[in-house]
């Protein structure tokens, strides 16, 4: 989803930062269930990116529906 927006989107967990555009980088964060993850965006479409990706997180990535 991060690739849809004209901005940089990062996830930060346990003091490590990963590009939200790279599944490998996200996996290397090793953020297991319950880990606090911070979402950061910077660029022209940052507000839209934050809104959409935060919604994805709050909806549990569509699991369990």
Give the pLDDT confidence of 8-21 residue by residue, as tens digits: 999 999 999 999 99
Cα(51)–Cα(31) distance, integer angstroms: 21
Mean pLDDT of the chain: 93
Reported confidence tier of residue 48, pLDDT bands at 50, 70, 90: very high
Provide the 10 A C-beta neighbour count for residue 55: 10
Helix intervals (H) in the chain: 23-28, 46-58
Tell me 64's DSSP state.
T
Tokens 């980088």, residue located: 25
CA 25 from centroid of its chain's CA atoms: 11
Domains of the chain: 2-60 (3.30.1340.10)
Please tell me the pTM assigned to this model.
Answer: 0.83
């Amino acid at each position: 989803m991060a690739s849809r927006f004209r901005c940089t989107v990062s996830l930060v967990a346990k003091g490590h930062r990963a590009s939200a555009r790279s599944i490998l980088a996200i996996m290397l964060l090793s953020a297991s269930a319950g880990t606090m993850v911070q979402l950061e965006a910077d660029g022209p479409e940052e507000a839209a990116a934050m809104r959409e990706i935060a919604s994805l997180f709050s909806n549990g990535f569509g699991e369990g529906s």
